[in-house]
Structure 1
Amino acid sequence: MFIDRVVVRVEAGTGGSGASSFRREKFVPMGGPDGGDGGRGGDVRVRGDRNLTTLLDYTYRDSWKAERGEHGSGSNKTGRSGVDVVLPVPPGTIVRDADSNEFLGEVLEDGQEIVVARGGRGGRGNAKFATATHQAPREWEPGDEGGVRSLELELKLIADVGLVGQPNAGKSTLLSVISAARPKIADYPFTTLAPNLGVVALSGHRTFVVADIPGIIEGAAEGKGLGLQFLRHIERTRVLAFLIPIDALDWQAEYDQLRREIAAYSEELAAKPHCVVFTKLDLLGEHYVPEIEAPGTFGMYAVSAAGREGLDVLLAAWWEQLLTLRTREHVRVTPVELP
């Protein structure tokens, strides 16, 4: 089951209390205060884990609490700090405060961490209150409470190429042929009810990730059909591929409708590089690339996933586009050395 949004309650550990103690040892008169400090409470952290692809685990358990710090003791012994609690999430997860909607961060890489609730500070023992004029203090401090909050975890898949199209446009079939992914395929609308990811392997150890997004119908940006539930998953894709079946009644109208829904959802998403892919070419029995008005596209292609026709040209075009984008990103982040 694919789960891409959950709300969980987290509570960091309370700090341990400081101790009130006096040193009592044979032959050591007037030993003085020796109460140790309390240990710090454990933090709650969200950590990226590349082995995960869904937030399903958090539907079984929705409350997490870190360990509290131990109390201080005599002989100036500090209490042990509480153990942190780590919530593993798939890369691409956005973390918000569920009550205030405050953005806390996003996990984009394996191992990346965000501290979402700080553990309480340990209280001071009476040894810390000793002064020249107050040599036998009995004061001590309780530990601070740990942070408590409700978290909203939202997953947005990270992929290089996003397949966009109406129901039964051939997205799942294409993904199953070009990668090892095995999405559900049938001859009725909305066969795909959850996004699917597939890794495309080319020669020379070249690989990229393709995402099959559930069908987009008119009004999807307003929540119709599967609507906003899965439109969010194409936000992180680098390249969009608009799939139009060759047997569509009006190729231009279908392309325009897909572009409108993407633009209505996000102008930034609509500005991403895109191409047009005509699918189910085997229905014609010949290779034919229709001509439609698609300003800004980097190419138009016709493929038959069932007949394995036109796929090499399409995959090569995707790779070239991704290579160009990666080069631009590298140039943009490379620091410039000043003389």
Structure 2
Amino acid sequence: MVDSSGEYIDGSGLHAGLGCAYDHNGEVSERDDTVVFLGLWPNIWGHCLTDNLRRLWVLDNTAFMEKYGKRKFVYIPFEDKDIIPNFQSLLSMIGCDRITLEPVRTVTRFREVILPDECFYRRNDGPRPFVREFGTRLYTEEYRNLIQKIRNCEKPRSIEKRTQKIYCSTRKRTRYNEFGERRLEIYFRKLGFEIIYPEEHSFEEQLNLFRNCSEFAATVGSVSHNIMFLREHTKVWLIPRTAFITEYQLAIDTLQDLEISYIDSTLSIYPDKKNPWTGPNFYIISDPLQKCFGTEINYAVDRVRFWVFRHLARTMHEDAQFSEYYRDAVKRYLPDVEEQILTSDFADFGRSIRRKIIKKMKLWQSVSMILKWMEM
């Protein structure tokens, strides 16, 4: 969003510190309206729970609603995608049925735009170890109240079956760049966890599961943000996808009084330095994981999938380089190929014609999708 002088308003995009103004020579719609702007809304569950909610605290502010409640509340749908059904259900729980919510899909000039403050925001204080985001994520009491309002919407009889321990898997909805979560599912199932695929349940059903479990396990990402709905003192087991933890998750960890343990159980040794969340990621049954649960399983890394994983990293990231964080893990789990992994020069490969041809053909993506299909 820009002001009347054409200056970009920081924080009006996805979050503060991200976004800028740009030249637009096309058609501009004119509307003689005063609207409340809620920001850019990505259709990703983790962002739905954080960035998309960050201005909706006003729904419970009497003074604001008396003044602007009858105005339209507008947002920009990222990539022009409609709101997903589960987020629509969540919005109803916090009172969005009382307002007129409208997407803005074209460049539009309004007479007046009201931009509420953020209740979930970023402080520009630089990166922290294993975080790599420039700024700590923080929230206000208004955000905590929003989440509590959702938690209070639990319907004990919305589904008949309840389980004490759940593992929330992303295996069925992730793309070609995730390997090994099937192994994690098998491992946790043997420990008595029920495997849940969130996308197969309505949000009301998910909320019931979260509110009635005593233990929760997941990989770190959008799915792990759901711990905000757990009951106090629930045991939580989180497995980072690589040597990186998002600031979003660290903030969410403090919303409730939970017993949270992070477990290193990956060999995602070639992260993208700029965007480590993009993968590819490779999960294993690690010694730390087995130590947490007191098991002794003779685990062997799937060499075929790891080989595909390495070459996929080459095609995805031109500057992919081995992460020193995983040096000891490679020696432990892949001793017979340790030297090859530690000395391979991805940078040279990244500049080669061979890499460009492979990327053009999408060869490794295709092989990865076949392996993912075989895991189903």
What TM-score bracket applies, with the shorter chain setting the length? under 0.3
Higher gyration radius (CA) = 1
More helix per residue:
2
TM-score computed with the length of structure 2 as normaliser: 0.22
TM-score computed with the length of structure 1 as normaliser: 0.24
